[in-house]
Structure 1
Amino acid sequence: MSATRLLVLGIVRGYGRAHGYRVGNDLLSWGADEWANVKWGSIYHALKALTQAGYLLDHNDIPGRTDYELTERGEAEFVRLLRDAVRRPQPRPDFLGAALAMLPSLPRAEAITLLRERLATLEETRDKAQAQVDAWAEPPHVRELFGLWEQTAAGGAEWTRGVIERLEAGAYLMAGEPGSPGKPGSWPQLQSSTEHPEP
């Protein structure tokens, strides 16, 4: 799974139609170059690859500029990647970071269900690592590796429980809720409403 792929699809989806500079500008303004190793080259490579794979449709209406739009296949791929990134713990944090950036694209109940799956996996990993710590004999220093896995999974589980609690308490606007950024093509309308608030 590629965090860049998920992020690029998500931003194009959010705008409904976006050009490469807008996609890259948004990602870099979120610091994705640090937490997901997203660079300008990887963004344009992803746009090209996703278009060739049929996930994006390119438009060349303005000379010198290509706009991109999600296809039906692209919407299905975006949702698949997002669900997997939320439910499945990965060794690298960029997948989860990408999922969190796009979390409002999911309905609240679905996000909570996926996070509970993540929590169950993390608790199972924590318990398995704890058993390995307790049972390990030789060489003794390898016990530290299992201890690291235990602490990492325990920390992930605690954080996941907190996110579930916040979502259950109504935090954040999720897909299907008024004002949510989760609807395809909703970002321009949301930007307009914050730039020109109603009196």
Structure 2
Amino acid sequence: MAMQRRKLSNPLALAVLVTLWQKPMHPYEIAQTLRSQGKDATTKIKYGSLYTVVQNLEKHGFVEVADVERAGNRPERTVYGLTDAGRQEASEWLSDLLAVPAKEFPIFETALSFLAVLHPDEVVRLLKERLKNLEVEAVSGRAALAKLYETLPRLFLVEVEYQVHMVEAQTEWVRGFLEEIEKGSLPGVDGWRRFHETGELPPEFT
């Protein structure tokens, strides 16, 4: 099953559609709602970008003007509501994202793919530093999650739970990889070390 090509692909657009599913809102209220519900931990939210996203959603018929609020001397605020097409788009988009794995390109994977240009001892030093940071992040993430569980149902915290699990999984992998380098059990580590000590590329690397 291939993921459908969408008219809008910015994750913030999906966040806006799902937020408007709750009730019609003006852009500032959408941003405040996303932040109050902790969605800024998974979606980059900038008011300027949000307003552009809302305009694009309106252009494609996914949202529509529901009201224009006027309060005293304050500027008018346009309230947007979700259209039937917007509900369908949000539902189909979310279904695609949940069902179809998408290839992502995390920068850490890029760094790992080129780590052989550094000396093994330097890689060990850097990964130990990363491991320390990951361990702190995992502990603080667990503590924050426990606090959130006190006020919110788990259903609304699954993305935070997933983030914590991913940090813990990376922590475990980095720890194991470090051990392989330090013990010399990583296949090719001797040739890797020789390359940095002699400048000669081992035959097994060509």
TM-score range with shorter-chain normalisation? 0.3 to 0.5
* Max Rg structure: 2
Q: Please, what TM-score do these two structures have when normalized by structure 1?
A: 0.43
- Larger RCO (CA within 8 A; separation ≥ 6): 1
